[in-house]
Amino acid sequence: EMSESRKLDNNLVKELTMLCVKMKYHNTTTIRRCRLVTEALRKMDGKYLEIARSPTACVLQLCVKWCSHSERDPVFVALQPHLLDLSLDEHTVFLVHNIIK
């Protein structure tokens, strides 16, 4: 279990979940989705590993799937030392796949 200092803020989790729901709407335009992805990545900045190891990892996975290469680079750099560990988890393996794809 994560220490108190490393636990994700509940407000952040709620905000990211709402952004994820908006990203997944079928009628969301590409431009709107790009803005939502950018906003979500900005909120996650510096917390990529904690998010990748949390139930909120699906939000990071969608962001990596739909973000630009320049937005993906900081996520890759932050998670690169942990990619092997993340690839062994049944949930985060998809995140790793989207990062290295």
| pLDDT classification of 3: cutoffs 50, 70, 90 | low
Residue-wise pLDDT tens digits, 18-33 = 999 999 998 999 999 9
Q: What average pLDDT does the segment 88-100 reach?
A: 91
Residue 2 has pLDDT above 60, yes or no: no
Give the global pTM: 0.85
| pLDDT classification of 7: cutoffs 50, 70, 90 | low
Give residues with Cβ within 8 angstroms of 83, minimum separation 6.
96, 99, 100
Q: Can you list the alpha helix ranges (DSSP code H) found in the chain?
A: 10-24, 30-44, 48-52, 57-66, 69-79, 83-87, 93-100
Q: Hey, what are 57's tokens?
A: 């990892």
Residue 42 has pLDDT above 90, yes or no: yes
* Cβ atoms 44, 20 nearer than 8 A: no
Q: Where are the domains of the chain?
A: 4-100
